A and B are shown apart, each in its own frame.
Chain A
Amino acid sequence: MLIPGWLISVATFPGIIVHEIAHRFFCDIAKVPVYSICYFRFGNPAGYVTHGEVKGIKNAFLISIGPLIINSLLCMILTLPLTFPMFILNAESMNPALGILAWIGFSIGMHAFPSNQDMKNFVHEVRTTKKKGILYLIALPSALLVKTANILRIVWFDLFYAIGISAILPAILLK
């Protein structure tokens, strides 16, 4: 089913907010000045962080990939209480608190992937850097992966990703 992107953004706005917080958090960690931040708005992009020059490929990697780390971890943790009744037991009724947590958790997971702009920034940093380490080698393939993931959003890849990562912890615990 095709649903307009803006509608998905509105429905999953907690994920956008966390995505921007993740960028900001890693900017702060990397001591990169942040000039402006929009956690959520009705528009394209739905959120953004404007920051200063990033020094070092490692910092550029963390700032760009930050949401993938933070959003994925939060999605896994927040959805843990509801994955047992939802996916394993197929419970027909659940506490409403779990329903709210499902919405927040899956929204966060759906916005884990960095945007194409995030990866563009990262690739630019990689290309201009003088130090060529391991991150240099994985930069272009990871940018390609993220771009592919963003294209596949049209077939709900972001939702499948969120559901997939939420199943990891219960699978480990039930082993």
Chain B
Amino acid sequence: MEEPTRHHTLKPHKYPILIKITGAFIVALFFYSLCFVPQYFSASKNLKTGEKYLDQNDYSQAITSLEKVLGTVPSAKKAKILLAITYFSNDDQTDDENGLYYLQDITIDDSDWQKISKVMPSEYQELFETIKK
């Protein structure tokens, strides 16, 4: 480490201009990002509600809550997986295809697949393939 020049003391609370500019950029970025918080927060709340209804086997309420999540954040993978589980779990077998629809084009990890495969009709399970990481 370099030997400091002890005669020279830096002025308190004075920071280089580059640090100030970077700080201002981060603050601006943060406030811009805060604009997304209400929608993500409400989607997260609906997800939790949907999860709760699913645990209570209240499938219609679960579908309503989870579809609200996808209405706000269409790329929410967790909501897609829970919706698929809900559609496969309810007594109405005519809407099983809806469950399959939500699983389109997503990669499902092992723990989620275990939950899905418990309720998914076996003919649908054949449509999925294992990807080695």
Please choose the segment from A3-11, A63-71, A82-90 that sits at the chain B interface, where 4 or more of its residues have CB less than 8 A away: A82-90
Contact status A45-B1, CB under 8 Å = yes
Q: Mark B54-71, 1 if CB is under 8 A from A, else 0.
A: 000000000000000100
Does A106 belong to the interface (CB within 8 Å)?
A: no
Q: Mark A149-170, 1 if CB is under 8 A from B, else 0.
A: 0000000000000000000001
In this complex, what residue of A is CB-closest to B13? A28
Interface size of B by Cβ–Cβ distance < 8 Å? Answer: 37
Q: Of residues B8, B10, B29, B76, which shows the largest number of chain A Cβ atoms within 10 Å of its Cβ?
A: B10
- How far is A74 from B59 in the complex, measured between Cα atoms in Å? 40
Does A119 belong to the interface (CB within 8 Å)?
A: no
Binding site for B on A (CB under 8 A): 14, 17, 21, 25, 28, 31, 33-37, 39, 45, 48, 50, 52, 77-78, 80-82, 84-85, 88-95, 97-98, 100-101, 104, 170, 173-174
Known: A39-B16, A52-B9, A77-B30. 16 other contacts (CB 8 A): A35-B9, A45-B1, A52-B6, A78-B26, A81-B33, A81-B36, A81-B40, A84-B44, A89-B40, A89-B44, A89-B69, A89-B79, A90-B76, A91-B75, A92-B106, A173-B41
